[in-house]
Amino acid sequence: MNHVLFTPLTNLTVLLLISLSLFACTANSPLPEPTITPEPDDGRITYEEMVVGYSQIGAESNWRTGNTASIKETAVALGVELIFADGQQRQENQIRAIRSFIAQQVDVIGVSPVVEDGWESVFQEAKDAGIPIILVDRRANVSPDLYTTHLGSDFVEEGRNAARVMVDLLGGQGNVVELTGTVGSAPAIDRYAGFREIIQDHPEIIILASASGDFTRARGEEVMGDLLQLYGEKIDAVYAHNDDMAIGAIKAIEAYGLRPGQDIKIVSIDAIRDAFQAMIDGKLNATIECNPLLGPQFFDLALKVVNSEPIPKWIPSEEGIFFPENAAELLPARRY
């Protein structure tokens, strides 16, 4: 929406009202109180004036539902008009949503791209319509002039941290199976790469297999069940790209008759509340934090973008690593 156009109109209305009230003063005395006080107008767009289209991936994990809640709650708190679209894990739904935001002439589009590839043309359409795009959480593989900034985690570093913890847990030796996230997604690609960067210096740690559980509990359980059928007690550890898949894997390991967290060590990523509970229960050995509470930072950036303020091309989140030792103490304060 072109807010710049509203400013002269507003000033004109105020002027008209002032002259009308001046006219009224000469006709009747005493002087009435002026009904409108002109507000200082620095021409900046405010949260209340901003319309934001947001294309979310879906609801595949507790991380994602925490992320959605943060975006929606922050919009309400700030008074931003938010048009939210759930892509149900499908890129074509996300592309359709972005096209409808363009048709509605929103001020800014936020998008968390389910996979990295295939966004060039729809982002170009947004650019041609003069609507800035902010990538939230996941990256898209597009030329940098097609988006304004990326707000999200360093997924490679998360993979490295998972590997560092794994090396410690295994004492530098053992067989690992990996449950990867959605094929072609930025976090799955980077968490795979970061993990290997560290593991390659530990030749006695073998990655037996790597299979996608699509970031869901159900698929994590299913794939882990298959891996147990294939490798059985040879498996010393699981590296899961998110906690939901780890929780699925825990079920499969128990169904197979082994003890998750003891017979098979497990390290995963996100740090959702259920992961803290699994650590308290002794079934998960560590979780690497990935922060989904991006609502406040996202709308702050959106406001800066519509007001043409300079912003960096990438805003990484700050994240920690959590272990069973203090899981019970930390769980009450966890918000997702």
Q: How far is the CB of 46 from ligand GYE (least distance, A)?
A: 30
| Cα gap 58→41, rounded to integer Å | 40
Q: How far is the CB of 281 from ligand GYE (least distance, A)?
A: 20
**Closer residue to ligand GYE, CB minimum distance, 178 or 236:** 178
Q: Is 280 left (phi over 0), alpha (psi -120 to 50) or beta?
A: alpha
**Closer residue to ligand GYE, CB minimum distance, 148 or 242:** 242
Asked whether the beta carbons of 191 and 155 are under 8 A apart, the reply is: yes
Give the ranges where the chain is alpha helix by DSSP (H): 6-27, 62-78, 91-103, 120-128, 155-170, 186-199, 217-231, 243-256, 273-280, 295-306, 327-330
267: three-class secondary structure by DSSP: strand
Determine whether 287 is exposed, middle or buried from the number of CB atoms within 10 Å of its CB (0-12, 13-18, 19+): buried
Q: Rule CB under 6 A: is residue 178 a binding residue for ligand GYE?
A: no
Stretch touching ligand GYE by CB under 6 A, among 15-23, 56-64, 316-324, 328-336: 56-64
Q: Read off φ and ψ for residue 193, nearest 5 degrees.
A: -70, -45
Stretch touching ligand GYE by CB under 6 A, among 57-65, 88-96, 222-230, 304-312: 57-65
Stretch touching ligand GYE by CB under 6 A, among 27-35, 58-66, 296-304, 319-327: 58-66
Stretch touching ligand GYE by CB under 6 A, among 24-32, 59-67, 139-147, 165-173: 59-67
Q: How far is the CB of 291 from ligand GYE (least distance, A)?
A: 9
Q: How far is the CB of 327 from ligand GYE (least distance, A)?
A: 18
DSSP annotation string for 40-84:
P--S---GGG-EEEEEE----SHHHHHHHHHHHHHHHHHT-EEEE
Q: Rule CB under 6 A: is residue 268 a binding residue for ligand GYE?
A: no
68-127 residues near ligand GYE, rule: CB under 6 A = none
**Closer residue to ligand GYE, CB minimum distance, 192 or 215:** 215
Choose which of 176, 290, 306, 327 interacts with ligand GYE (CB under 6 A).
Answer: 290
Choose which of 60, 116, 222, 236 interacts with ligand GYE (CB under 6 A).
Answer: 60
197-226 residues near ligand GYE, rule: CB under 6 A = 215
* N- to C-terminal Cα separation, the chain: 34
| Cα gap 271→163, rounded to integer Å | 16
**Closer residue to ligand GYE, CB minimum distance, 148 or 180:** 180
Q: Rule CB under 6 A: is residue 274 a binding residue for ligand GYE?
A: no
The alpha carbons of the chain give a radius of gyration, in whole angstroms, of 25
Binding mask 235-264 for ligand GYE (x = CB under 6 A): -------x-x--------------------
| Cα gap 82→106, rounded to integer Å | 9
Asked whether the beta carbons of 176 and 212 are under 8 A apart, the reply is: no
313: three-class secondary structure by DSSP: coil
Q: Rule CB under 6 A: is residue 137 a binding residue for ligand GYE?
A: yes
Number of residues forming the site for ligand GYE (CB under 6 A):
13
CB neighbourhood size of 46 (10 A): 13
Q: How far is the CB of 292 from ligand GYE (least distance, A)?
A: 7
| Cα gap 145→111, rounded to integer Å | 16
Choose which of 50, 115, 133, 269 interacts with ligand GYE (CB under 6 A).
Answer: 269
Q: Rule CB under 6 A: is residue 64 a binding residue for ligand GYE?
A: yes
**Closer residue to ligand GYE, CB minimum distance, 137 or 221:** 137
Q: How far is the CB of 252 from ligand GYE (least distance, A)?
A: 18
| Cα gap 179→242, rounded to integer Å | 8
Q: Which residues bind ligand GYE (CB under 6 A)?
A: 60-61, 63-64, 137-138, 187, 215, 242, 244, 269-270, 290
